[in-house]
Amino acid sequence: MENSRKKLYSAVQPTNNLTIGNYIGAISQWVKLQDEYDCVFAIANMHAITVRQEPANLRKRTLELLALYIACGIDPKKCILYLQSHVPCHAELAWVLNTFTYVGEMERMTQFKDKSAKHADNINMGLMDYPVLMAADILLYQSDVVPVGLDQRQHLEITRDIATRFNNIYSPTFTVPEGLFLKVGAKIGDLSDPSKKMSKSAENVNGSVFMTDDRDTIIRKFKRAVTDSGNEVKYDPQNKPGVSNLISIYMAFTGKTVEEAEADFAGCGYGDFKLAVGETVADKLAPVQAESERLLADKGYLEGVLKEGAERAFGIARKTLSKVYRKIGFYQL
């Protein structure tokens, strides 16, 4: 990796199927970013277990997500691609950072409140401590930037607070990361309710288009998508949230501007518009799905990627952790 470039860190959990919202807001952006930054991309399986997971399913989804990363264009030769649990430094640094994080800060986190409401039978310490582990993820690699959606802004802020607090006590140790707020596709709405973010765990599966959905399923979901009053295909998030959401998806998959997208559908009825967007998405996903299936059939290759990624990630993470241990007074051999 080139030392002159800024370092970037991001991660996705291997839980449920990824949606096209995840693809637009994260993975497709990563493909571009790997040519601009020294990128470290993780499969965040340690974060995943804050909610109960079926073990065999978690292992299966881990490889599926890795295959999807690569099929989408993330190149293990251009970046570090690894599994979070393969680098013990994440848990070790998280424990240290816990002692620089206040209970009140964690209790105020929006995601803790939301997930506690959804999983009232399993409000565990991991659920509350999630942002500290996320801080450890980011700070281990001395990350300069972290691509974040609007819903992750609070997590980045607590990461910055913890890093600054530690640096002020022990002298500069961590790079204080900046947020890289991606404008295109930062929030893709649910097809059934555009006011909600398209989610991997939505109760209504028709509102989320998954990366593994077949062509017929994709088109059926788009045909059922909520639109608005009137019949003009126009980008107006305030007054036409349904149509605007579909235009956002169309722009993300074609690279077209608002003006170009509106021109494509000038005089077009909502039915034809929704069908066209669905076909565009299905056409774009078909080669990604085929490549993902090919990679999944080569388990040896995928495990090789994880092994090399873990070794490279550990080399960087261990340097940071050793520095932290020295600063706080841990006796090291």
Q: What pairs with residue 145 in β-bridges?
A: 8, 178
Q: Is there a catalytic annotation at residue 115?
A: yes
Instruction: Return d(Cα 56, Cα 67) in angstroms, integer.
Output: 17
Q: Is there a catalytic annotation at residue 256?
A: no
State the Cα angle at 10 between 319 and 61, rounded to 5°: 110
Q: Is there a catalytic annotation at residue 200?
A: yes
Question: Which residue do the tokens 């690894």 mark?
Answer: 82
Which residue of the set 197, 221, 240, 274 is catalytic? 197
Judge whether 289 and 211 are in contact, CB under 8 Å. yes
Judge whether 8 and 137 are in contact, CB under 8 Å. no
Which residue of the set 115, 221, 240, 274 is catalytic? 115
Question: What is the CA 314 to chain-centroid distance, rounded?
Answer: 21
Which residue of the set 6, 200, 256, 323 is catalytic? 200
DSSP character string of 178-231: EEEE--TTS-PBPSS-TTSBP-TT-S-GGG--BTT--HHHHHHHHHT----SSS
Q: Looking at this protein, which amino acid is placed at residue 249? A: I
Tokens of 23: 């693809």
Active-site amino acid positions:
115, 197, 200
